[in-house]
Amino acid sequence: NLRYSCPLLARENILQGKVPTTPTSASIVAAFEAQEALKLIHDMEVVPGNAMMINGLTNDIYNTEYPVKEDCPSCGLAHIVQPVVELSDMQVNKTTVGELLAYAKEQLGPETVLEFGGELVTTLNLDGEQDVKPIFKKMARLTESELDAPDGGRYDMNMTHRITGTENWLDRTLAEIDVPPMDILRARNGDKRLYLELTGDKEWFWQFS
């Protein structure tokens, strides 16, 4: 009956939904983060600029306030991700990749690209073979078993982190390329940037009844 801390759980176990058998500081912090997120969703008061420090060794919990530094990337995050454009008529299950890219090009120009926060695995293929297996899944969510080929070999991953308009899958919906509801995607054309929020998902995504 081995008991592991959160970071020691195998990646495959985490992807299967298995959780540690003992509470750790990481799980406590996650609970607080979920609580703070719910406060923001329901327009409840939060304490910005404060951090809750949790010491799992001594079981000490205390709050501290961070000073704001203008040249700090974290402190200036609100400026970095501006402007955020709320797209109330766009949803992951209905809006296609091409439609979102077309909107971005209208705002920033014809050379605009859409960028993800991580790598998107588009297809899998065996070395030296032309046949590819479409998958469209974020690399962070890809399991080890999905890379196993039927002949016992291993698939190679074809990945991208942006959409330029030359792709042959622009007619797929955003959900079909593993974009989550209410996601914010970055549109970029040189030094010009926009952050596009799929606000249309709010109508159905936050319904818990």
Of residues 84, 90, 80, 87, the one with CA closest to residue 195: 84
Rounded average pLDDT per 10-residue block, the chain, 209 residues: 48 65 71 90 86 80 82 62 86 97 97 93 82 88 86 88 96 97 94 93 80
The pTM of the full predicted model, rounded to 2 decimals, is: 0.67
**Token reading at 81:** 């991700």
**194 φ/ψ sector (left φ>0, alpha ψ -120 to 50, else beta):** beta
Q: How far apart are CA 175 and CA 123, in angstroms?
A: 16
How high is the pLDDT of residue 147? 87
- CB contact at 8 A, 135 and 145: no
Q: What is the DSSP letter of 190?
A: T
Q: What is the CA radius of gyration of the chain?
A: 21
Give the span between the Cα atoms of 111 and 154, in whole angstroms: 36
- At 10 the pLDDT is 60
Q: What is the pLDDT of residue 67?
A: 79
Taking CA atoms, 172 is separated from 57, 146, 165, 175, 178, in Å, by 49, 21, 13, 8, 10
* Structural domains in the chain plus CATH codes: 6-65 (no CATH), 79-205 (3.10.290)
And the tokens for 120? 């998107």
